Amino acid sequence: MQTEEEVGGDTDLKDDVTDTGAGLYKDEYEDNRYVYKGKKPIIM
């Protein structure tokens, strides 16, 4: 896993939230919670 400095600083995974296919989804029951759905998460 890389540090924030190695990936360019201000990395916010919430920028990549999706509603189709594999990826990060907003939890439908809890606020401020996100769930990865798919085969294998991408490690940045």
Band of residue 22 on the pLDDT scale cut at 50, 70, 90: confident
Angstrom distance (rounded) from CA 17 to CA 23: 7
- In the chain, what percentage of residues exceed pLDDT 90? 18
pLDDT value at position 36? 86
Indicate the residue type of 28: E
With beta carbons less than 8 A apart as the criterion, state whether 44 and 2 touch: yes
Q: What is the residue extent of each domain of the chain?
A: 4-37
End-to-end CA distance of the chain: 6
pLDDT value at position 29? 94
Angstrom distance (rounded) from CA 29 to CA 5: 33
pLDDT value at position 33? 93
Which one is predicted more confidently, 13 or 28? 28
Spell out the residues 6+ positions from residue 12 whose beta carbon is closer than 8 angstroms to its own: none
Statement: residue 2 has pLDDT above 90:
no
